[in-house]
A and B are shown apart, each in its own frame.
Chain A
Amino acid sequence: MNGRVSRRAFVRAGSAAAAAALAPRFAFSIVRPAQDRPIRFGLVGCGGRGTGAAEDCLKSAPNVEVVALADVFPDRLEGCRAQLAGLSHPGFKVAEGRCFTGFDAYRRLLEGDLDLVLLATPPGFRPIHFEAAVEAGRHVFMEKPVAVDPAGVRRVLAAGEKAKAKGLAVVAGTQRRHQKCYVETIRRIHEGAIGRIVAARCFWNQGGLWRHDRKEGESDVEWQMRNWLYFTWLSGDHIVEQHVHNLDVINWALRAHPVSAVAVGGRQVRTEPVYGHIYDHFCVDYEYPDGVHATSMCRQQPGTDGRIGEAVVGTEGQADPAEWIEGKSPWRWKEEPDSPYVQEHADLIASVRSGAPLNEARAVAESTLTAILGREAAYTGKKIAWDEILASGLDLSPAAYEFGPLPVAGVPIPGKSA
């Protein structure tokens, strides 16, 4: 397996992002009348990240309006609506008739008049929502990861191609691609500042995350959805849900996706049933084209030492892709780290208004599959090839999307899990 196809895709996505990032923020407002027309967006998934994404999008460019909200849960929708209304932003234009709840809320939102959707539900729903958004002809910002299983990744890849054919913009929440310190460092890596890359490392080691206590009478599905981090069919496990950020940086820096993976992992500390069935640690040895290996380590264990970041080792130097290069071409990002959360929306909207829409679907789908590859290598204990995982029949979606009973799947045991 070689990474050539994706390599081209990454170069394109990377350089487009770089160009957008380097352009003065409001240059288009002077020269391009297209921006006089408002961009109206709807939010699907009104949790913490979704609400934040909506706020970031409103701030990212002039003449952007939020016009519709959708969430499975009315309480989450109301919380989000109140928070966005409280911003007193002129772009807040959510009418009562455009607030939708329930499992089909996304569909009703897409039927309305809007240009862009922000997809920020738990990742298990992303392939369905992304497909529907592209079908409806909407530009898309979608949070990472974009799937939890290979079946979902393939749907996202196919919908991404369709978006391209329709001229729709697709930007993903792998926001480091829109962060100048990363863009500038990785551009230099690609230009040869550290020579030929021989190895890479990435980490997301941290303590615990939030959870909600189960309420009286709450169905299995509702409980799991409100605690979606801890259920693989919803989050993909934390290597997919969280560490995908760092794996995306490695794919970007190496301009390839892995060839295969061998991994260990387990559920050592966070073993109570309230934490579902996901692992609390993983370590993956990824092999990339030309025999380059990348170490990936991630954990969510309270009281342990944290480390979040990446390193790339070349024949003529080393780099921290977020900050510096040492070796034959030393360099350091000297400004304050910039916030990419607004920038990713600015880049999306600028690309729409300029008529050259970004399409990051393939890059984020491949980064998502990279994480799924590592997860499955750890769950099964097997060495797994990229082609195997890409073609895998693994599909974690439930029989039906409705509130009701759903037993918690067992914790995977390496050597026993298929």
Chain B
Amino acid sequence: MSRDSKGPEPIRAGLVGCGRRGTGAAENFLMAAPGLRLVALADAFPDRLAECRTYLAGLKHEGYAVEEERCFAGYDAYRRLLDCGVDLVLLCAPPGFRPLHFAAAVTAGKHVFFEKPVAVDPAGVRKILAAGEEAGRKGLGVVAGTLYRHHRKFRETIRRVHEGAIGKVLSARAWYNTGALWRYDRKPGERELDYQVRNWPYFDWLSGDILVEQHVHTLDVVAWTLRAKPARAIGTGGRQARTGPEHGNVYDHFAVDYAFEGGVHCLSMNRQIAGAFGEVGAWFYGSEGVASPYAGTIAGANPWTFQGEAPDAYVQEQTDLIESIRSGSPLNETKQIAESTLLAILGREAAYTGKALTWDEILASSLDLTPSGFDWANPGIAYEPPVRVVPMPGRPRA
């Protein structure tokens, strides 16, 4: 990046979604390039907003410039933030809100960094895809939180696979096996909607379940490496360890056999169970070797190990977005993150239903997990979401 003596034109950003990842993304943004200003915060909950604001102020970063009048709380806070004079927004609310927030940001002409996943259902994915095209027409930068796309170790490994280092890719595996995640106890008098939104990983309509919310990272690496259209998924899963109502209606394990056009299959395995074996990774098996982007290694005919430093990809993804905007050729990752999100949704639905599902079926599916009567933009003070039911393979969805 070239800089004249005055430095680059400042970019003014606002954060939508002040939880842990949002707070982290805002910090990463400030460190990503010179001349960046964080000027606004929005969250459904005033307490989360205040915690985030305190943390970011404590960094004493010159780019931190959040004033009281640009702090917005409530479910419609994103809209007020978009109207307050920002150039760029960081969209980090629970994934169920992403299609609404993204479409509104693009309509308002803002550059976007948005966290993965970008939807929880096919209806949301189609909304994201349409807004992404509009962003392209408007020349807006869009970068997604699938950070491995910006990680030097991953990029170099996968570039070598694409250049033929393991020959023809024949098979793949993708694991996201971990322990338990955080959750919050219900506060006295807390209404159901707020309880679910605070505990969003455990509700399908907010997180998309663990396969979509978490394992989308690994599936994105698979999609990136294979460069093949998904064809079909056969999946299984359930909740075996994490069965109480405090864990909403999501599963604690999934396994999916994905078939891609050209005949390559990928075993996807994903678990969040405390005390169980954990490992995250993706492995690609070719006619002449095996590649592991997570390890940064290639074994076989062309052995190679990643050497050197890999900059923090949480910062690098923001740097890449800012540089692309400043260079006048903005990145637009909408299609790739929308498709990786849909790949995860395909696997989830194959497991939930017990049906073999095709890519074309899920892309066209009318499935919309929005609770009946819920308005994402303005749910209203009295709205109570219905109890979410755990999906049962082979049975009609309740």
A314 to chain B, nearest CB (A): 8
- Closest-by-CB residue of B relative to A380 is B276
Smallest CB separation, B136 vs chain A (Å): 38
Interface-centre pick from B241, B254, B395 (highest chain A CB count, 10 A): B241
Contact of A201 with B240 in the complex, beta carbons under 8 Å? no
Interface positions of A from 266 to 283, Cβ below 8 Å from B: 266-269, 281-283
Cβ of B242 to closest chain A Cβ, rounded Å: 9
Choose among B171, B269, B354 the residue that contacts A264 (Cβ–Cβ < 8 A): B269
Instruction: Knowing A198-B170, A201-B265, say if A303 contacts B277 (CB, 8 Å).
Output: no
> Are B238 and A307 touching (Cβ within 8 A)?
no
When the two chains form their complex, are residues A297 and B394 in contact, meaning their CB atoms are under 8 A apart?
no
Q: Does A205 contact B (CB under 8 A)?
A: yes
Interface mask (A282-326 → B, CB under 8 Å = 1, otherwise 0): 110100000101010101011111010001011110100000000
Given known pairs A315-B287, A414-B240, the reply for A283 and B255 (CB within 8 Å) is yes
Residues of B within 8 A of A285 (CB): 173, 175, 267, 269
Across the interface, name the chain B residue whose C-beta is closest to A379. B240
| Nearest CB in chain A to that of B236: its residue | A281
B253 sits at the interface (CB 8 A): yes
Contacts A297-B257, A313-B171 given: A269-B392 contact, CB under 8 Å? yes
Cβ A304 vs Cβ B354 within 8 A? yes
A381 touches B273 (CB 8 A): yes
Known: A299-B354, A413-B240, A413-B241. A264 touches B271 (CB 8 A): yes
Contacts of A304 in B (CB 8 A): 353-355, 393-394
List residues of B (174-211) whose CB comes within 8 Å of A's CBs: 175, 177, 179
How many Å from the CB of B169 to the closest CB on chain A? Answer: 10
CB-contacts of A180-221 with B (<8 A): 195, 198-199, 201, 203, 205, 207
| Residue A37 interfacial (CB < 8 Å) | no
Structural contact, A265 and B394, CB atoms closer than 8 A: no
Query: Which of B241, B354, B355 contacts A415, CB < 8 Å?
Result: B241
- Per a CB cutoff under 8 Å, which of B234, B288, B290 touches A297? B234
- B356 adjacent to chain A (CB < 8 Å): yes
Q: Are B392 and A293 in contact (CB under 8 A)?
A: no
Whether A305 touches B273, Cβ cut-off 8 Å, given contacts A203-B234, A264-B255, A291-B290, is no
| With A266-B253, A304-B355, A315-B287 as contacts: A198 and B238 at CB distance below 8 Å | no
A383 is an interface residue with CB less than 8 A from chain B = yes
From residue 238 to 260 of chain B, which have CB atoms closer than 8 A to chain A? 238-241, 253-255, 257
Nearest Cβ on chain A to B349's Cβ, whole angstroms: 12
CB-nearest residue of chain B relative to A316?
B287
Please tell me the number of chain A residues within 8 Å of chain B, measured between CB atoms.
43
Nearest to A268 among chain B residues (CB) is B238
* A155 at the binding interface (Cβ < 8 Å): no
Is A416 an interface position by the 8 A CB rule?
A: yes
With contact pairs A301-B354, A382-B276 given, residues A269 and B177 touching in the complex (Cβ less than 8 Å): no
Contact A283 B240 (CB under 8 A): no
CB–CB A268/B392 < 8 A: yes
**In the complex the two chains form, is B285's CB within 8 Å of A199's CB?**
yes
Q: Which of B167, B288, B355, B395 contacts A305 (CB 8 A)?
A: B355
List residues of chain A with CB within 8 A of the CB of B177.
262
| B238 engages A415 (CB within 8 Å) | no
**B-side contacts of A313, CB under 8 Å:** 170-171, 265, 285
B254 close to A264 (CB less than 8 A): yes
Query: Does B373 sit within 8 A of A, measured CB to CB?
Result: no
CB-based contact A415/B276 at 8 Å: yes
Tell me the bound Cα distance from A269 to B175 in angstroms: 25
Contact A382 B238 (CB under 8 A): no
Shortest beta-carbon contacts, A-B, top 7: A381-B276, A304-B354, A303-B394, A415-B275, A283-B255, A268-B238, A266-B240
Interface residue ranges, B against A (CB under 8 Å): 167, 170-171, 173, 175, 177, 179, 234, 236-241, 253-255, 257, 263, 265, 267, 269, 271, 273-277, 279, 283, 285-288, 290, 353-356, 392-395
Cβ contacts A to B, 21 pairs, < 8 Å: A195-B287, A198-B171, A198-B287, A199-B170, A201-B265, A268-B238, A268-B239, A268-B240, A269-B395, A283-B255, A283-B269, A285-B269, A291-B290, A293-B283, A295-B267, A304-B394, A315-B287, A383-B277, A414-B241, A415-B273, A416-B241
Q: 18 additional contacts, CB 8 Å, given A266-B238, A303-B393, A414-B253?
A: A199-B285, A201-B257, A207-B394, A262-B177, A268-B240, A269-B394, A283-B236, A293-B173, A297-B257, A299-B236, A301-B393, A301-B394, A303-B354, A304-B394, A313-B171, A381-B273, A415-B179, A415-B276
